[in-house]
Structure 1
Amino acid sequence: MAIIGSLIKGAINLKDALSPEPNHEESQQKVLQELLTIASGTEFGKEYDFDNILESKNIQEEFANKVPYFDYHQLLEKWWGRVIDGEPNVTWPGSPDYFALSSGTTGKKSKRIPVTNEMIESIRSAGIKQVEALSNFDLPASFFEKDIMMLGSSTDLQEREGHLEGEISGISASNIPFWFEGFYKPGKEIAKIDDWDKRVQKIAENAKKWDIGALSGIPSWMELMLQKVIEYHGVETIHDIWPNLQVYTSGGVAFSPYEKSFNSLLKQPITIIDTYLASEGFIACQDRPETDAMKLITNNGIYFEFVPFQPEYINQDGSLKQEAPSITLKEVETDQDYVLLITTVSGAWRYIIGDTIEFTDVERAEIRITGRTKFFLNVVGSQLSVNKMNAALRVIEEKFNIEIPEFTLAATRIHDEFYHHWYLGSETTIDNEMLAKELDEVLKKANKNYKVARSKALKGVKVTTVLPIVFSEWSGAQKKKGGQVKMERVMSEEKFATWEAFISENDPK
């Protein structure tokens, strides 16, 4: 009998039973008040008169009226550039010990996002909440004695001018609690290897030494790691190496595109738990098995606001217009996409994180990620968001019995006429024209705006299939392999031309 596992599970169950569900609206009001109070003496707090906001009868409304929206580049230009240069007390008291290097799916180079000690504690606290939520899943006591494979970026952080830099997963892993180190795999030495391929090779070589019960990481990179382990040991599934594997915590992207290909690597089903860890903070995690939606962590140093994701509020480049209205958690509704804004203990203020979300349960504050603001394809009025693209591809997978874990597309011009050109990562031999015709029909049926666009400026759809591995090789060529890297789903014409040149040289299909 797993005695230690039973004790751990019992302690988790007891804590969960004694911890009441927070009032999410009240928690958010309290978080905002604390953030404004702590930062009132900073240069940012003085600029936007936080002391005056705190005296208002409606702090949330006054905060929204006085402080503008900021994307990364706006914050960097006026505020975070000074933080990076070492100036203290700019957007948060003191100076941060860490900077998270964002993989930057839409930017040309990595962003450097301040990570304060308060944010490290916030991420650690959210991780504990996630572990506590396991009590809601039907897991045996023995599970709580197994190892956890965390496939993030390198923990070998780079020292620069008095602080450390790395991706957020590497920063988080380098700050794991001492009591967790015995469960953490691949362990500190392997986790420090910066080269992703070499790190995965070491994981494959050591895989049989570990009794892995849970996996954690980005789906695309997790799949590649599992494939490498399976190939190295000459087995059929990952359960032939790790028979006690029962849980996978996905993060940052929708798992549904990877579901078919991921399951093909397993001998038996495992529990999938979604989490939402971004470079800017740990935002949400799934805490019950009845849904794949994630609960916003509303009492942990992050204040949330929401802008309805409507075309009239979004600039052509995917940025948010300042006149767009924002609402609080109290005002949100289900079945509506929102641009997510966060204000955090790392000195991000009304920050446009770049993701769009929808609420599945307002009372529980449960959400799903639906896409990226800059992956919204509306060049000719088609109004395609990533969730609509994903949904269409799941229909295509079902119809043709194929797997399409990766894709990207762009609105391209041929003789001054617009086409949507899709690249699908799939090993299928089905004719591209047949896939294009079916994809076009599925999108017409599911999206009236797309149907209207197809009758006017959008002249057609093109599909090119390439092997899924090409997408990871593209990321590697962009020096963005592994860690928190996510494939860009919508490209500009300029970027798409570079992509197509890469494909012509590297697709072995």
Structure 2
Amino acid sequence: MALFDIKLPETIRARLGLPQNDFKRQQERVLRKLLHKARFTEFGQQYRFDEIGLQENCVKLFQQKVPLFNYNKIYDAWWHRSLQGYPDVCWPGRIKYYALSSGTSEAASKYIPITNDLLKGNRVVMIRQILSLRNYNDIPVRSIGKGWLMLGGSTALQKGGGYYAGDLSGITAKKVPFWFQPFYKPGKKIARQRNWNRKLREIVKKAPEWDIGFIVGVPAWIQMCMEMIIEEYNLKTIHDIWPNLAFYVHGGVSFQPYKKSFEKLLAKPLTYIETYLASEGFFAYQDRPNSKGMRLVTNEHIFHEFIPFDDKNFDANGDPVENPQVLTVAEVEEHKDYVLVISTSAGAWRYIVGDTIRFTDKQRCEIVITGRTKHYLSLVGEHLSVENMNKAIELASSDMNISIPEFAVVGEPYQNLFAHHWYVACDDAVNAETLRFKIDDYLKQLNDDYATERGHALKEVFLDVLPEKTFIQFMRSLGKIGGQHKFPRVLKGKMLEDWKTFLANEMIPAKR
């Protein structure tokens, strides 16, 4: 059964026209649709959506009249009422589902509203991405109609006062459309499993019964799953049990640090397809081979804005200044970092996601994720991004022929000045001092500000090499084990305190 041959409902088929390149007009149309749908909500009434949506310059009026929100601000002012069961607060009707998200920096869970309108939009984007496989030359056609192993959160959601909460992947899997169910693995029974280790064991047990063509999930957990299957059945590679495995759909973190150890588990290359799917919505997807970026979704259910990520618009803590500059998709420039702001069909209005992105091809509206506002290190003006860190790790590990699947960096005081402290996961034999020197040297080449400050206030770089299991055990100690959770690349605040306490209690031996 070929996936491309599925007969989709007419309502979905009508919405699957190929994206056109008038992104400005598409986004204006999306905004008008959102304003019209939400005009009778409490939020829409306060900010006069009915009037804004009728004006020719509705985008500018929307930006002038509606303030920017971070999570705490919009939750305290609006979303808490939805959580208490009030209807028509920021989006029509009652909110029945919430995605629990703590990101990689905050300890407390966030309740992100999930509506049927948002899920429908996400599904349309997913179908577009599937159809874009036709853009790939020499794709293994026989793999397209095979099973999709989607490794995510449990579909057994927590019940609240009139709502359900859990991982977005669990909510999405719970509402898998009927036409996709024949392809979906691990199936509803295993997907309900709350215990992550038990879920993995059940997947391993079922693995020989499945013919998998696609795997979907966060790299660290997908890799762990494949390693368990290979060990259980005494295989050389995962292709010994799934010969038709040809595609890996990933997102959430950079895949590059995992690639070397990941590919040791394969007998033949996979086609890697990157996605940008967050709790707040499906923002972008890779729709052509060898592209440097992902196509931003501009014509469906999300209106995007962009704040330049620079010292004029953000303070040293990564928080926006009052009245920052905010641009539309028509006003951005290539090769500059922006913080993403979204308005969605779930009642997130001018919501600052916290991710930083960069346009690699404005004509195609293609972007890459460069990091998070809270995950930059700029103690003394070094402006070190997660993108810089990932690249330095990639280059250093390639030079030394080692695998570094996880790492984290801490900024700390040192001799009245400052230092960076790296914690690196590596199970290969490695000279920690050589690795430290290479990472530091590559960062100087990648980032002029870093190179300057290494001669001044950023006096030292420390590096500890730890077993990969240390990072997994730490996440398990926080209850953050599973398909949605990623190890933070920059440790600050409560997460840093927990990390130091964990290392001290575990007395982890490190190579330095």
Q: What TM-score do you get using the length of structure 2 for normalisation? A: 0.94
Equivalent residues of 2:107, 2:495 under 8 A apart: no
Deviation by residue 1:91-131 (Cα, 9 ceiling, x = unmatched): 11111111111142111121111111111111111111111
Cα distance between partner residues in 2 of 1:257 and 1:95: 42
The DSSP-based 3-state class of the residue aligned with 1:438 is helix
Q: Who is 1:420 aligned against?
A: 420
Q: Who is 2:340 aligned against?
A: 340
Equivalent residues of 1:124, 1:176 under 8 A apart: no
Cα distance between partner residues in 2 of 1:140 and 1:353: 36
Q: Who is 1:56 aligned against?
A: 55
Q: Who is 1:172 aligned against?
A: 172
Q: Who is 2:74 aligned against?
A: 75
Q: Who is 1:380 aligned against?
A: 380
| TM-aligned CA deviation for residue 391 of structure 1 | 1.1
Cα distance between partner residues in 2 of 1:493 and 1:77: 22
Cα distance between partner residues in 2 of 1:224 and 1:6: 28
Equivalent residues of 2:19, 2:299 under 8 A apart: no
Q: Who is 2:295 aligned against?
A: 295
Deviation by residue 1:420-465 (Cα, 9 ceiling, x = unmatched): 0000111233332222222222212221111222122111100111
Cα distance between partner residues in 2 of 1:42 and 1:311: 36
The DSSP-based 3-state class of the residue aligned with 2:312 is helix
- Counterpart of 2:402, as a letter, is I
| TM-aligned CA deviation for residue 30 of structure 1 | 0.3
- 1:307-456 equivalence runs, <5 A: 307-456=307-456
Equivalent residues of 2:47, 2:66 under 8 A apart: yes
- Counterpart of 2:19, as a letter, is E
Cα distance between partner residues in 1 of 2:505 and 2:237: 32
| TM-aligned CA deviation for residue 503 of structure 1 | 2.5
Q: Who is 2:2 aligned against?
A: 5
Change (3 A) 1:280 1:20: closer
- 1:101-500 equivalence runs, <5 A: 101-137=100-136, 138-492=138-492, 495-500=495-500
Change (3 A) 1:469 1:437: same
Cα distance between partner residues in 1 of 2:317 and 2:474: 23
Equivalent residues of 1:432, 1:464 under 8 A apart: yes
| TM-aligned CA deviation for residue 218 of structure 1 | 0.8
Runs of 4+ deviating beyond 6 Å: none
- Counterpart of 1:469, as a letter, is K
| TM-aligned CA deviation for residue 6 of structure 1 | 8.6
Equivalent residues of 1:393, 1:404 under 8 A apart: yes
The DSSP-based 3-state class of the residue aligned with 1:387 is helix
- Counterpart of 1:37, as a letter, is H
- Counterpart of 1:332, as a letter, is V
Change (3 A) 1:103 1:209: farther
- Counterpart of 1:67, as a letter, is V
The DSSP-based 3-state class of the residue aligned with 1:452 is helix
Cα distance between partner residues in 2 of 1:229 and 1:134: 28
103-112 or 149-158, which moves further after superposition?
103-112
Q: Is residue 92 of structure 1 aligned with residue 91 of structure 2?
A: yes
Equivalent residues of 1:101, 1:112 under 8 A apart: yes
Deviation by residue 1:369-409 (Cα, 9 ceiling, x = unmatched): 11111101111111001101111111111221111121111
Equivalent residues of 1:186, 1:203 under 8 A apart: yes
311-320 or 126-135, which moves further after superposition?
311-320
- Counterpart of 1:217, as a letter, is G
Cα distance between partner residues in 1 of 2:494 and 2:185: 40
Cα distance between partner residues in 2 of 1:49 and 1:289: 44
Cα distance between partner residues in 2 of 1:63 and 1:159: 35
Equivalent residues of 2:377, 2:384 under 8 A apart: yes
The DSSP-based 3-state class of the residue aligned with 1:331 is coil
Cα distance between partner residues in 1 of 2:18 and 2:182: 30
Change (3 A) 1:50 1:500: same
Cα distance between partner residues in 1 of 2:108 and 2:241: 38
Cα distance between partner residues in 2 of 1:62 and 1:309: 23
- Percent identity over paired residues: 42
Number of residue equivalences: 502
Cα distance between partner residues in 2 of 1:493 and 1:505: 19
Structure 1 residue runs without a partner (length 5+): none
Name the Cα RMSD after superposition: 2.0
Cα distance between partner residues in 1 of 2:475 and 2:41: 38
- Counterpart of 2:171, as a letter, is I
Cα distance between partner residues in 2 of 1:97 and 1:478: 27
| TM-aligned CA deviation for residue 508 of structure 1 | 6.5
| TM-aligned CA deviation for residue 354 of structure 1 | 1.1
Equivalent residues of 1:252, 1:276 under 8 A apart: yes
Equivalent residues of 2:149, 2:214 under 8 A apart: yes
Equivalent residues of 2:83, 2:95 under 8 A apart: no
Structure 2 residue runs without a partner (length 5+): none
Change (3 A) 1:494 1:282: closer
| TM-aligned CA deviation for residue 37 of structure 1 | 1.5
| TM-aligned CA deviation for residue 63 of structure 1 | 1.3
Q: Who is 1:42 aligned against?
A: 41
| TM-aligned CA deviation for residue 493 of structure 1 | 5.6
Cα distance between partner residues in 1 of 2:410 and 2:64: 36
- Counterpart of 1:116, as a letter, is T
Deviation by residue 1:135-160 (Cα, 9 ceiling, x = unmatched): 22232332233111000101111222
Equivalent residues of 2:292, 2:360 under 8 A apart: no
Cα distance between partner residues in 2 of 1:362 and 1:388: 22
